[in-house]
Structure 1
Amino acid sequence: MKTTHASHQAAVLAIIVTSYLMLVVDISIVLTGLPNIQAELGFSHAALSWVQNAYTLTFGGFLLLGARAGDILERRRMFIVGLALFTAASMAIGLAPSPTWLLLGRAIQGIGAAILAPSTLALISIHFAEGHARTRALALYAAAAGVGASLGLVLGGLVAELISWRVGFFINLPIGIALIVGAKRYLVETPLKSGRLDLAGAVSSTLGMGALVFGIVRSAESGWADTTTGLSVVSGLVLLVFFVAHESRALQPILPLHLFTNRERNAAYAARMLFLGGMVGFWFFTTQFLQGVLLYKPLHAGLAFLPTTIPHFIAAMSVPRLTRRFGNARLLAFGLSFCIAGLVWMAGLSELSSYVTGIALPMVLIGIGQGFALGPLTVSAVQGVASEDAGAVSGIVNVAHQVGGSLGLSILVVVFAAGGAADLGAAASLAHHIASTFTASALMLAIALALVLFFIVRPRARYLPA
């Protein structure tokens, strides 16, 4: 239902899209600044992954609870709370004097994002009537996701090179304050609803996944025989088992288990986690190759990703037309195949590789593959879901997205540490380690492709006319 006067709709849309853009940008803005962060604060290679994981784990872990809180405690209120928490954490990160301070700030920033993100989509439905107005608003919202990743890389590289990586987080302060003021003035409040917040589910799932990822990352430096590594992995698994058991008997669970009874959707969830796990390694380690091996400045490293981001955008825009021709499932398989080919190509990187043939050309394949895969992967994940479960399954998709990236990156950090070549020089050794992570990323995507072929493509092919 349309509840906002037409003269205010431009302001409402600007507030919603800008807030979502800020969340997406902060996932990628640190990537081109990672070498500078590592040098200034003294992160190890393994611990450096937590700059990303601390954010994505709390983002994904509290996302379902954030969505539920918005339903119960009013959307505009939770939108402002999420913005305030995200903005304050950004300020703290910019002032961070130590790795611990920075990681704590990133974790709190992720909680703010988990509160804010679900409200952005809901507020579009509240303020824009179904039809052309809502379609246009959703198109701009989706465009923010595509543009945000590229903008974060370039912006992060720019400030890291010319000023300091810290400025990338300080930027959020004036933007966040302006958005809070605008939200209070233009956004319509939703009525309170009765319900319960599943705090036990949210905390156990987040702590469980966090402990599991911590144990895997720690094994890269301390080995699997390390007591802390073993305790972290075991406690993480125990907490996740408790989470599933708790959700099975919770009156208002944040993760309805009946949504996991469909094989196609389950395959789509698993494929999404594997896809994000592999692709986050591409972004994370390519940045280090560009700056550590090719000696690119941070700004140039950000611009070096354009061979991925531009084809990604073009491919994503062509998905509706190609889906009508090839079908959603086949286009998803095509996309994963392109990404695998690009990652296998980059697995051959060495100290002597050139940017054009070793990175830019495979980046084109990866960009096309990402553009083809993400939309169809989402469609498969919500296939056949009842309208009353639409919000919950949307939350599951987002959780798979964030947690898949965290878990995948932690595994790739272990692969990076194990890909030793002691007889090589520093740059050659770094290139060798990074190339091994691309092999592992390609393997993750190959498993995702197998799931898609067996559980999504093949079942649908049975119903196609001969």
Structure 2
Amino acid sequence: MRRSPWATLTVLALAQFIVVLDVTIVNVALPHIQTDLGFAPESLQWVISAYTLLFGGFLLLGGRAADLLGPRRVFIAGLVLFGAASLVAGLADSPGFLIGARAVQGLGGALLSPAALAILTVTFAHGRERNIALGVWGGLAGLGGTLGVVAGGLLVDSLSWRWVFFVNVPIVIGLVAILPRYVQDIRHGLDGARTFDAAGALLGTAGLLSVVFGVVRAEPSGWGSLEVLSFLIGGVALLVAFVAVEARSAAPLVPLRLFRSRALGVSSAALALNGAAFLSMFFLTAIYLQQVRGDSALEAGLHFLPMGATAIFGAVLASQLVHRLGTRTVQLAGATIGLVGLLLLGQAGADGSYTSELLPGLLLFGFGIVSLSVPAQIVAVSDVANHEAGAASGVVNAFFQVGGALGLGIVTTLSTTRVGDALAEGASQQQALVEGFHRGLLVAAAFAVANVLLTLASPQLRPDAARVSEVAAVA
């Protein structure tokens, strides 16, 4: 059967759209989820972190599974898992139930996302058509993040928070139904020596989960408590075991030789810090807008919308400037602008004007975070072999997700501690939340400062326009 490649692209891009959508659509529902299910303040961040940690932790395993089993098969499996977990998340009646469902959602996304990209690259021949397809793919994924906050607000205000999860179910059913008609079944010749390296994925993800849990528990239990030390030490031990497994594996998920590249190492760290600042800002501001300023979920979503617009503009502009000014120059400008945005947001009070106190910071942060990520993604794959470019791209994407989860754990712990201290000192609930918001954004700004310094060590490249469009879209 002859299939239209553009119909295939539509199916793949829509699946990727809902995966990205689920990172942001949930943020505006957090205050309602917290009230309805009785989340403790320090535990609420797991609604976001469970998804991003499992997504980042198993992203490379998803790519390996697509290579070995065939990308369409893995794509369908990930899509079904994502849809089923969305249904379960919408039916959740306890914090643990919801967090577990979000983790499975992340695993589903980690399977379908690299499989979809593998199908796309086979469907379109190298050159102009593939670059257009990758541009559409990247653009729709970015649009999913931008529209997620508005869609989440509409669903929460008109129905309930449960519909930010239920909305995925009919989309997944429709995609699974039409997928055999529009997506070809691609089978690769398999090398018997290759393996899944499931042990590496499990050790790495379990280690990261343990470290994040230890950080989050530090607020109620204390950094020196047996519970916190056990999780932190256990997490580090698991991560050391992960490195040992990868070093000995015949087909590692993360080829450690890639990190001999200074460009990849610096870029991975920069994107991890970028993820930490982004998820932290989004989480804190979504709660601040609703619990401090009294926004409805829809109003909060609309207040985020200008940030999404400047992010799209920043991506386009950065892609045009990197081959004129160089990657390090553009990345440094993006890191600095994002830092200024966070510092401005950190000055917002409980009753000030949105236009004067919040909008400038949101606009600058949205522009800056993407202006940093575009050149960092290009640099990351600049000096790895062509046959390892996919692995390098997977590594930097995983670093962004995992860095976001780790950073969010640190920020929420310190923010929650400040809220508790302020209440103990006699502050009102509203003022305590404002002080917690300021503390959290100050920590996020510290991540941004580290990124400014790290960017100084990044190589200065001037890639051609074709290389920019291909790498930026894939990453």
State the TM-score bracket (shorter-chain normalisation). over 0.9
Taking the aligned partners of 1:250 and 1:129, their CA distance within structure 2 comes to: 33
Q: Deviations over 1:297-340 (max 9, x none)?
A: 00000000122111111121122322233111100100010000
Decide which of 95, 100, 116 is 1:99's aligned counterpart. Answer: 95
Name 1:63's counterpart in structure 2: 59
Alpha-carbon distance in structure 2 between the residues aligned to 1:455 and 1:332: 9
Q: 1 CA distance for matches of 2:102 and 2:280?
A: 19
State the one-letter code of the partner of 2:43: A
8 Å contact kept, 2:261–2:384: no
* C-alpha separation in 2, matches of 1:380 and 1:111: 28
> Aligned AA for 2:338?
C
2-structure distance, mates of 1:321, 1:89: 39
Report what 2:258 is aligned to. 259
Equivalent position to 2:128, from 109, 129, 132 = 132
Aligned 1:264-275 pairs, distance under 5 A: 264-275=263-274
Matched, 1:203 2:206: no
Which stretch of the first structure deviates more once superposed, 113-122 or 353-362? 353-362
Of 113, 117, 126, 1:117 maps to: 113
2:45 paired with 1:49: yes
Identity rate of aligned residues, in percent?
37
The reply to whether residue 143 of structure 1 matches residue 146 of structure 2 is no
Map 1:36-435 onto structure 2 (within 5 A). Answer: 36-192=32-188, 193-194=190-191, 195-419=194-418, 420-421=421-422, 422-435=425-438
- CA-atom RMSD in angstroms: 1.4
Task: Tell me the residue number matched to 2:469.
Answer: none
Kindly provide the amino acid, as one letter, of the partner of residue 55 in structure 2: F
Matching residue's letter, 1:218:
R
Structure 2: unaligned runs, 5 residues or longer: 463-475
For 2:296, the aligned partner's letter is K
Give the aligned residue type for 2:255: P
Contact in 1 for aligned 2:263/2:383 (Cα 8 Å): no
Deviates further, 66-75 or 190-199: 190-199
Q: Which runs of 5+ in 1 are unaligned?
A: 461-466
Moved over 6 A (4+): none
Report the residue type matching 1:390 in the other structure. Answer: A
C-alpha contact (below 8 Å) 1:349/1:432 kept by paired residues: no
Matches for 1:421-460 after TM superposition, within 5 Å: 421=422, 422-456=425-459
- C-alpha distance in 1 between matches for 2:352 and 2:433: 13
Alpha-carbon distance between aligned partners in 2 of 1:172 and 1:409, rounded to the nearest angstrom: 25
Distance (Å, rounded) in 2 between the aligned partners of 1:441 and 1:168: 27
- Deviates further, 356-365 or 37-46: 356-365
> What SS does structure 2 have at the residue aligned with 1:352?
coil
Moved more, 320-329 or 155-164: 320-329
TM-score by length of 1: 0.95
Secondary structure of 1:348's counterpart equals coil
Quote the Cα distance in structure 2 between the aligned partners of 1:202 and 1:180.
Answer: 27
Look up the SS of the partner of 2:4 in the other structure. helix
Q: Which amino acid is the alignment partner of residue 67 of structure 1? A: G
Distance 2:323 2:397 in 1: 26
CA distance in 2, matches of 1:380, 1:169: 36
**Aligned partner of residue 46 in structure 1, secondary structure:** coil
SS at match of 1:150: helix
Work out whether residues 350 and 432 of structure 1, in 8 Å CA contact, stay in contact via their aligned partners in 2.
no
In structure 2, C-alpha distance between the alignment counterparts of 1:274 and 1:56, rounded to whole Å: 14
Distance in 1 between the 2:256 and 2:457 partners? 23
Per the normalisation by structure 2, the TM-score is: 0.93
Give the Å deviation of 1:181: 1.6
* Residue 20 of structure 2 is aligned to residue 24 of structure 1: yes
Conserved 8 A contact 1:24-1:149:
yes
